[in-house]
Structure 1
Amino acid sequence: MSESEEDINLPSASECEARCQKFAEITGTDTALAMFFLQDRDWDLDRSLNSFFQERDGHSSSPKGPQSKPDGNSSKEKVRADKITESSYNCAADPESFRIRVMSWNIDSLDPKNKKSRVEGVCDKINKEKPHVVLLQEVVMETQKILEEKCPSYDFVPGGEKEYYTAILLQQNVTTLEDATVIPFYSSMMLRNLLTVKCTVKGIKFDILTSHLESTKEYGKERKNQLKIAFESVRRADADRTVIFGGDLNLRDDELIEIGGIPENVYDVWEVTGKRPEAKFTWDMTRNDNLEYSSKFKPKCRFDRLYIRHSKPKALVKPVYFELVGLERLKSCQRFPSDHWGLLGHFNVLARLLESAKK
């Protein structure tokens, strides 16, 4: 069945929203959880309710959460990832086998000024820092081509192909892609979604998620709903996988409080690595002048964030350092690569760190 044929069978956006509301009303939950159950059951309300109550009462044969039907006919969209290479990672030959680096960056491809120079600056930073996984937001086809050309040691997994979208880059030779899917945010007014990649990084099993949540203060309600969906996906990931979720979340601290805070066993990487004040604000108009702003008041916000959910029964990966990147002006245009600073999280693989210390 083609993607277009699958779309024909889906209810309208208004009907999807109505079913989410009905599910939340009956179960006493919320629309974020409702969307998870409904999406994976082709928006069949009765089947979704049955699954919810079976799982809640401990009768579900699938305790890890909602699953796609065997034929894969789900509202989650499979992502095409061309030229994905199998990992040839050799732990013994890697002097940094204990270290994994994850970068996240809104690269502002919607700004037409100096676009080529700026994205080449992003590529230079990626190639210099050599993160093993890169989460990108505000990618367009033009900048995707530059990224693929200038970062040849990475495999590119796009979260879309129209307008602007997210992407995940996986460093070749140390990563292996298992699966990639997109969860649409049907009530988004800005084409936003959640890109999820299942992969191994240096032999460790990961779920990597990125999103660009709804922008601007007036869309706070939609943004909070999207964040709840993302956190629910993090929470429901297989227990034996380490989960990294990050991106341009456009998040305000009060919004996080209003949805009940960060889920249990999920941690803010900036916070757990010491809350360094110089690495706090990722959209800072007191330092970044890529955008023209006429007001004397220059806002600075922590819109971009990285979260980790540890694997069970024991944590395999520990966040140890968090920094901002892209702080230098480009010589080519005297602007910064983006109006956002990039995030770079450093993580230690605990067992290998201990082995290294014994040597």
Structure 2
Amino acid sequence: MTSALTIAVDAMGGDHGPEVTVAGAALAAERHPFLSFLLVGQQDLIAAVLARHPILQGRAEIIHSDVAVRMDDKPSQALRTGRWKSSMWMALDAVKTGKARVCVSAGNTGALMAMARFCLRTMPGIDRPAIAALWPTLRGESVVLDVGASIGADAGDLVTMAITGAAMARAHFHIERPSIGLLNIGVEEIKGLEAIREAGARLRAMNAPGFAYAGFIEGDDLGQGKVDVVVTEGFAGNIALKTAEGTAKQIGTFLRQAMGRTWLTKLGFLLARGAFLALRERLDPRNVNGGVFLGLNGIVIKSHGGTDAVGFASALDIGFDMAESDLIGRITQDLTSAPVPTPLAAEAS
């Protein structure tokens, strides 16, 4: 039986603040009867929206904060001025102190990562946290990381990303040994940057019980769902993510334009309306909204800043799922039980 679980929400984060974050909490509350919330932010604004959602009565507590991190704040500035008193920091601190199991924010990504690293610290063996996203594929979904936590990664970073990404895949997909692929410009072992080739050698030498290394994959394999977890550095991962989101919107626009050209195409749309609605549902980025910060001593979920209540509820769903599946415990166990070969050991194998 599911136990009670509390999520701390940076209610002021994102483009729309409490209008979206509180409404999203109400939608998530309908799906998870044992879920409760700490809504952190300006009390009067939160209370006004909260009054419109009776399902949250008795399940949401307001924690007042006068300070909200702006979307255009630099991470260093936000950390310097918003530490200990902003809604973002107080939501993270609720996880640190055990008042909540998860923090969810739609606020400034750089500020959230900087504050999360300072407040929660990285796990032993992790130098750079990563942001993992769920990626719709022809087979279902894959985990893709890093999609923008930091730019660049050495071989060791890519290996630890593989370990944490595999733990997330086991927690979310409930598969015993997820497959791992390194995103590269070709599948041949001689291709790609030295860090990617070295990471591949290390992962192959590990023969880890928590995942199966499948080698290099290319960009067109992402949508195919060739592997359960795709590992890349944050610059390439963020570009891939934004490109996929843009392509989905482009396809939707093309379809609307094509279906409205003549009376025959309009009739065709009416006859195939169910299929088009199903396609729109598959392409809707709100359904996979929410990036998981991996490598921290706590669960932090980053929602898209411009999403609506449906999208924010998806981010809350992911946070709930990660906490219920003991993501932190899984990563801790994998980091301690799967020895990472040194470069020399990898080459010798």
Q: Scaled by the length of structure 1, what TM-score is found? A: 0.30
Identify which of structures 1 and 2 has the higher relative contact order when contacts are C-alpha pairs closer than 8 Å and 6+ apart. Answer: 2
Give the strand-richer structure, 1 or 2. Answer: 1
Looking at secondary structure, tell me which structure has more helix per residue: 2
TM-score between the two structures when normalised by the length of structure 2: 0.31
